Structure 1
Amino acid sequence: MNKKIRLMIFSSMIVLAFVLLIFSPPQAESEGEGDLVYYIPVEQAVERGLEAFLNRSIKKAEEEGADHIVLEVDTPGGLVDAAGDIAKLVRDTTTPTTAFVVGEAMSAGAYISLNADQIVMMPGTEMGAAQVIDGSGNAASSKAHSAWLSRMRSAAGLNDRDEKYALAMADPQVDLPDYGAPEGKLLSLTSEEALEVGYAEAVLENREELLAFLGMENAEERVAEVSLAEKIARFVTNPIVIPILLSVGSLGLVLELFSPGFGIPGIMGATSLFLYFFGHLVAGFAGWETLILFGIGVILLLIEIFLPSFGIFGIMGIGAIVGSLVLSSYSTSYILLSVVIAGIITVIASIMFIKYVGYRGPFKKVILTAQTKTDQGYVSNTSRSEIVGEVGEVLTSLRPSGTALIKNERLDVVSEGGYIEQGSKVKVISAVGSRIVVREERLGSDD
């Protein structure tokens, strides 16, 4: 069997096994009888992948008839937009909710916790420091800052909490020196401080104490597990990872065109783009139509490469690919920035590759790289420097070009400037390539 066919079959089997594994439904842990309490972890950064996981988990808890949903919070914060959507999921569910802070509920994590029906914290945990920042880590614009303060104020008001503490978490201008947050510093509440100011209903050690606090000691407990597909989705939808995936994907596929066979660059490029679309598909941002549009774009680019159309197919292909990326993304501005970054990296790396490595792949069949060199026997013209200074006779009038007999050889010559009659004597003054310049040789001349 052909080696390439075996490789394709083997790769297909790996991909199939991978898909079956990641799409296998996660199993929920359960114990006990009676009421049903559903634990949902809110861990790591708050981003779109976490939003997709919480959306699925809350719906599943509702479908299974959960009597209470416990959000086990341990997050440093994350995207404001994702936090807003997650908070809406928590508010909209008809099942009672408790935010159980088991680590830290900082920034967006604090906002999500305030949207639950009640907050319970473990000893030694913290909640707060929720100032909104931009992509570069600086304070956001006054408009975004004002909108975020309004959200924090509204979240605090859901359960009649004193809004000044929520504002102090998000605005360093709020002065609360008694809780370690004088003007110029954001507020972070310890579990004891949160209990004191009414931002926590209890400080408890573990789930057992939490169930007793909820009056559900004999409740059945289930834990929502993050599937492998959702773990991948959370990773690849991270704002830092997206431009890296697009850069590796575009660079890998472009370099594959300059390399023989299908090797490491092509595998890396295809894998990166697969992860991008797969993650966004699982997270709910992309549909199969985006994959179809991306495939159409690739086909159009291949047509442009092998059947040049003066750029028409190329422009359409690039437009289809960029369109598929935009449609599958949760932020148009961010994905366009990522595409620009990937494009710049790909162009620079491609130029360096061509310069130092050259064409070795499919492009070699469509790009003329052969050169006619002198050392291979190719000579564009014969240098006649040996006839410079020789005297000959004009066979045809030079007006200013014509024919002359020089060293018994008929040569095409051109006069230095003026008209020279037939039969006149001429002297060769230069011979550069095929151009031989002559000057009339007059009697008595010393030239």
Structure 2
Amino acid sequence: MNLRSRTIPRWRHALYAMLAVAGAALFGAAGMAQDEAEAPARGAPPLAMVSTITGAIGPATARQVADAVASAEERRADVLILKIDTPGGLVTSTREIISSILESDVPVAGYVAPAGGHAASAGTYIIYATGIAAMAPGTNIGAATPVSIGGMPGLPSPGETPARDTPRDEDSSGAGDGEKPASAPKSNEDAMAAKATNDAVAHIRSLAELHGRNADWAEEAVREGASLSAREAVEQGVVEFIASDMGELLRLMHGREVVTAAGTRVLNTEGAALTEIEPGAMTKLLAILSNPNVAFILMLIGIYGLIFEFSNPGSIGPGVIGAISLLLGLYALNQLPLDYAGLALILLGLALMIAEAFTPSFGVVGLGGVVAFVLGGAMLIDSDQPEFQLSWGTIGGTAAVSVITLVLILGYAWRAQRKPVATGSEEMTGMEVEVLDWANGEGHVWAHSERWRARGPHSLAPGTMARVERLDGLTLILSDAPTVHE
């Protein structure tokens, strides 16, 4: 007993020692494997990711930049380069892009390219938001004056100096020497224009101060629509340098300090590997839907589909297509600067055209609907960018289709519903039939080119005409008719 009790603990100690050795070996092997896996990464060249922005800045562009920033952070890229060539775009989308850039942990560089490209209007704000800004030869930047559809009243045109207050004529005003001239009261439109301009100036100046760029010229670009060539932009401290291609851009950026959301970082871009970030499927779909012409047509298809479904319950197809199209159209319009007065006019126009189809008024109501529809289409998108405005071709074409569709097709469907029933017992009630044979109040009649059993007055005789009162199963119940068959 004593020998056995001393032997068991020794085996346990030996087992524990073996397990400890095995565990240490496993951890050591795992560490070596991790070191081997990280060794190629440490020896790999720096990573520079590129996202190309072309055309007008809109919801799709905002999503593209947000996705690019997320991808660059996920892959721990050394720099994200936004290659920009844009005429400008929507203010809301521009602010979303700037927020994505400023909140990025990865340094973001702005590069106006290719030669002949420009970073106008919204593009200027985006360039000022990036940590490093460069331009290709033959490009330009500026013209960042905020305007609304048709131009914002009260804002000076590019190159035009805002009017200053001038002293009033003493003879006409009666003001004595030393009196301050009174300024004319500003209209609401002028006040709104001044607020928009001052807000834009404060925004771009804050971006300039964040990265140590020329804030005075930025204000000039907003207030007076000033523009600069690539060389002038470098001379005036708007961008850091001119780069003819991506290789030169990476070489010139190397070693510069950049402010990011994670703090100041020194760029390591010498010989960096370039990776292009392609827009995702949702971004491409949003780019299509954010076209106001596409969104407008989808909305109309949705409205027409639902109207046809309500006019012909059970058809299913038009209702399903209409619901999907309407939701897509409304989603797309919600991404754009929508003028709700324009939307209300479009809906009013459609309602008036439907009323014309159901209750003809010799075109008065329908004509009013067309006018409201066209005016609403012209006002629907509140933007100065042609890419985000409804084309007159789309407005005119959809107005014509609406008139034809709603007046002719819906009018025909409505009149068809009001016609007498052409089948079933309801159709036979009241029709006249010819008596073929008759005895004791029953016999047979001829109706719809068929021989029917019938019951009715005893006075009926073969060859006479009778009127159907109702059906009792497959038997016609008759009454006397004044017409006699010759």
Q: TM-score, structure 2 length as denominator?
A: 0.51
- Which of 351, 362, 381 aligns to 1:347? It is 351
Distance 1:82 1:224 in 2: 19
The CA distance in 2 between the partners of 1:35 and 1:258, in whole Å, is 64
Question: Structure 1's 267 and 360: CA in aligned 2 closer, same or farther, altered over 3 A?
Answer: farther
- The answer to whether residue 282 in structure 2 is matched with residue 229 in structure 1 is yes
2:78 match: 67
Deviation per CA, 1:276-302, whole angstroms, max 9, x where unpaired?
36x65xxxxxxxxxxxxxxxxxxxxxx
Which residue number in structure 1 is paired with residue 69 of structure 2?
Answer: 58
Alignment of 1:35-54 (within 5 A): 35-54=46-65
Residue 106 of structure 2 is matched in structure 1 by 95
Pairing 1:126-275 to 2, within 5 Å after superposition = 126-139=140-153, 141-172=193-224, 186-215=225-254, 216-238=269-291, 241-255=294-308, 257-258=310-311, 269-270=322-323, 272-273=325-326, 275=328
Please say which of residues 133-142 and 192-201 is displaced more in the overlay. Answer: 133-142
Measure how far apart 1:336 and its partner are: 3.7
CA–CA distance in 1 between the matches of 2:72 and 2:102? 15
Query: Between Structure 1 and Structure 2, how many residues are aligned?
Result: 281
**Partner-residue secondary structure (3-state), 1:112:** helix
Equivalent residues of 2:295, 2:328 under 8 A apart: no
Which one is further off, 247-256 or 110-119? Answer: 247-256
Larger Rg: 2
Q: Is the 8 A contact 2:353 2:407 kept in 1?
A: no
CA distance in 1: counterparts of 2:320 and 2:353, whole angstroms: 17
CA contact 2:98–2:129 (8 Å) conserved in 1 = yes
Counting only pairs closer than 5 Å after superposition, residues 101-140 of structure 1 correspond to structure 2 as: 101-102=112-113, 103-139=117-153
CA apart distance, 1:144? 1.5
Q: Distance in 2 between matches of 1:39 and 1:214?
A: 14
Task: Work out the CA distance in 2 between the residues paired with 1:89 and 1:130.
Answer: 20
**Are the equivalent residues in 1 in contact too, given 2:55–2:85 (CA < 8 A)?**
yes
- Summarize the Cα distance change of 1:69–1:97 in structure 2 as closer, same or farther, 3 Å threshold: same
* Conserved 8 A contact 1:248-1:272: yes
- Cα 1:240/1:112, change in 2 over 3 Å: farther
Taking a change above 3 Å as real, the CA distance of residues 355 and 127 of structure 1, as seen in their structure-2 partners, is closer
* RMSD value, Cα: 3.5
Q: 1-side partners of 2:112 and 2:352: how far apart?
A: 47
Please state how far the C-alpha of 1:73 moved relative to its aligned partner. Answer: 0.8
* Maintained 8 Å contact 2:288/2:294: yes
How far did 1:262 drift? 5.7
| Residue identity opposite 2:248 in structure 1 | E
Q: Aligned pair in 2 of structure 1 residues 153, 271: CA closer, same or farther (>3 Å)?
A: same
Distance 1:357 1:241, change over 3 A: closer
- 1:63 to partner: Cα distance: 0.8
Residue ranges of structure 1 left out of the alignment (5+ in a row): 1-31, 173-185, 281-324, 372-377, 379-447
Identity %, equivalent residues: 27
Unaligned runs of 5+ in 2: 1-42, 154-191, 255-268, 358-402, 422-429, 431-486
1:141 partner SS? helix
